[in-house]
Chains A and B, each alone.
Chain A
């Protein structure tokens, strides 16, 4: 295994950075298909990153074909392989979601969260009216009740 200079070379670093940037940009979109493509691209970049952790290029890690000093690191390759397969599983699942969303809703856009919007609208209404909210108005209560009655008669 090459241990002399294991840093990632500039080209690869740029590639990874560029792919991540593209992937993040796509993830920030509204269309579900673009988001899925973004996930796929980020997945590719991540697998690349993983494999690069094994060091600079070398010969394939097969005993008998390449001498041990020139082999690339097999462990990140195995991890990246697992990651590729799992990303594939995730992608198919997301595609099924996109399909279902388009069938049921007619579009594949990611809409805003309903509950958060409700709170935001409520907050805006309160701001506009400048009324103090009285959520504690019904909080006064008296002590002492007849709980014992329930259990004891």
Chain B
């Protein structure tokens, strides 16, 4: 399974090269892998239906317990039908949809295949972090696909909005995963679902955070506005990502965790409220759209709300309804999007007001579109009807008030769904008075077939209702079934769900016939409730806040920044050392009496450096400090070290003097006017004191002699054939570090050479130098 996912990604990396030779047939090449996944899923069908699973696990950080675990069970299987099945259709459709020589083909094909692979990994993931990784991979693919080449403002805005909203959800979801994993003691999803952690504050927080991630991905209110905005992408991309697969990821997550958590406190109320509200809002907004694609987008938002409610409910029949609607929605939405794509491709417009007479011109297309739309509306004998019936039945069964409220919401939402489905049918295929009939060329077979396949499946699965029954029942197994488990069928007798369906269809027809009056309502919502202005205000607010904070705290001066760093150093580790560390009991004043005068010399020289007015004085005093340190090394018994210190200090002095020739002899006196000295003194003294205290505390904390050094001393005579242990360490035991060190020297020398010698070039022409020279040097030597 991991091999399949990786193969997708590898193929995606190769596709740009392939598309250079094959042009638009690269899409067909890309369709191979999703077809393979679909075939593999179908072969595993019998095993999964019998209740088994296919597991695979690859440990990539065994020490930390991190593994890639993949697992195929019924839910993953259903999702694979959507991800890979619809993927194949979309990729074949793309062959004929895009211009053969379009620049973006290689990019789009590669991204679509990469997305298919990431989505496949997502639905197969059995480990929380694996799921997260693939989740964010799909976000990235979506960002790149929606943004296309980023030429227009729309593309950039929409893709950034999609990215920001879904990544916000993704990060909170990650936090929720971590909390959940810690509570459950394991990060494997199957184990968490099998034995969920006890209900408590932390678990509830984790669930809310995870739900936030699911809601943003599946475009629930108030995060739903990125989905209509993402319609700037080409139609096949919208059909794949934003109708059939990516937006289902949130629903999938909810379905995955529902068996374990549906009775935890925050789960059902949150999902039910937001799901119903989304269904209503989405349906409501869809009634006012003039662009067919945006209409379908809002329809998707509404249906996703519906799916959320179904998947999160936690009862047997509703779960069966959920599985049915999952597939049904994938099928009819992809059909509808592909039909819209064909209409757009041929007629050149998607606007309702400009389309007329399509029905007469493309009868086959009309039939395909009608099947899709009627399935969306829930008309028998189509697959969507089966799902709706099951949903109504599921919420009627228990008879609790909560469920009845949900049922009312679902009925209203379905009525709106029916209304906008009829609106779609009328808008795409109807004859409008005053608009001339379309004279578009006939679409090619390559476009029609991928649109017809899902429509045929919708019809087939609806008519032969028992085909899907086994899958739905297996999916609903974790929930207790009761005495008479539900089964999918077209006719259950004259029951309440049937009546409700009739009511739904009737009100849908009514709403559609009264469309003029409805349109005059104008899609009015109070401004503060609208989600898109809310998003815009949030992003604008972030900009303002960042300007304010940066303007106030980041003054731009280097001493200020350093002072802040030092203060933080004093406060944070300092407080830790002072509270947690303990001073050693016996403190020696000195180890050798000679250390005291040398220390006095060094400190005096150092303090004198700060007060020196001339540069040369400061440099010479620094040399004194360096030689004093060398004396310390001698006293401490490190002859090699002392040698190196003396020599290096001499060379440093030489380098200083070389550069000082070019600079004024005195330091410039700007600091006294700028800012008072005492804050700098205070901060540095505090930091220095902290270092001294830390030295005492750390050195006093040692419990045992170091083993590495003893090992080196023992190994030096035999292993390195050396008596000088320090030298043995440098050129033998740790020779690699020495090679690195000399490389640093070489690089620094090269850097110095380029800096100094390049200045020569920066100061041309040299002829002017001769006359200007003395004048310039006079300025410098003020």
Contact = CB atoms under 8 A, between A and B. Distances in A.
Contact of B547 (A3, A10, A23, A123): A123
Contacts of A139: 157, 536, 539-540
B591 A56 contact: yes
B751 A33 contact: no
Interface in A1-44: 1, 3, 5-31, 33-34, 37, 40-41, 44
Given A41-B622, A57-B591, A73 B662 contact: no
Contacts of A60: 637-639
B293 A151 contact: no
Interface string B2-36: 00000000000000000000000000000000000
B635 A81 contact: no
A112 B557 contact: yes
A44 to B, nearest CB: 5
A84 B755 contact: no
B759 A144 contact: no
B239 to A, nearest CB: 12
Given A47-B629, A106-B779, A136-B537, A71 B713 contact: yes
A92 to B, nearest CB: 5
Contacts of A109: 668, 670
Given A51-B633, A75-B706, A81 B540 contact: no
A153 to B, nearest CB: 7
Contacts of B700: 6-7
Contacts of B689: 17, 21
B671 A30 contact: yes
Interface in A56-84: 56-65, 68, 71-75, 77-78, 80-82, 84
Q: How large is the interface on A (under 10, 10 to 19, 20 to 34, 35 or more residues)?
A: 35 or more
A78 B722 CA distance: 15
Given A119-B550, A144-B294, A147-B155, A17 B705 contact: no
B695 A26 contact: no
A58 B637 contact: yes
Contacts of A114: 556
B551 A29 contact: no
Contacts of A107: 668
A19 B729 CA distance: 29
Contacts of A27: 562, 684
B756 interface: yes
A3 B536 CA distance: 66
B723 to A, nearest CB: 4
Q: Is the interface of A mostly helix, strand, loop or mixed?
A: helix
Interface of B: 97-99, 102, 104, 108, 148, 152-155, 157, 228-229, 231-235, 291, 293-294, 297, 341, 344-345, 348, 350, 536-537, 539-541, 543-544, 547-548, 550-552, 554-559, 562-563, 566, 584, 586-592, 595-596, 599, 602-603, 606-607, 609-610, 615, 618-619, 622, 625-626, 629, 632-633, 635-641, 644-645, 648, 651-652, 655-656, 658-659, 662-663, 667-668, 670-671, 674, 680-681, 683-685, 687-689, 691-693, 695-696, 699-700, 702, 704-706, 708-710, 712-713, 716-717, 723-726, 729-730, 734, 737-738, 741, 744-745, 747-749, 751-752, 755-756, 758-759, 762-763, 779-780
List 9 A-B pairs, minimum CB-CB distance, nearest first: A123-B551, A136-B540, A21-B688, A17-B692, A116-B556, A89-B748, A24-B684, A25-B684, A96-B755
25 contacts: A10-B587, A11-B589, A12-B591, A12-B599, A18-B692, A27-B684, A30-B671, A33-B667, A37-B618, A47-B629, A56-B636, A58-B636, A74-B713, A77-B638, A77-B641, A81-B726, A82-B730, A93-B748, A103-B762, A107-B668, A108-B663, A109-B670, A135-B540, A136-B540, A151-B102
Interface of A: 1, 3, 5-31, 33-34, 37, 40-41, 44-45, 47-49, 51-54, 56-65, 68, 71-75, 77-78, 80-82, 84-93, 95-100, 102-104, 106-110, 112-117, 119-120, 122-124, 126, 133-136, 139-141, 143-145, 147-153
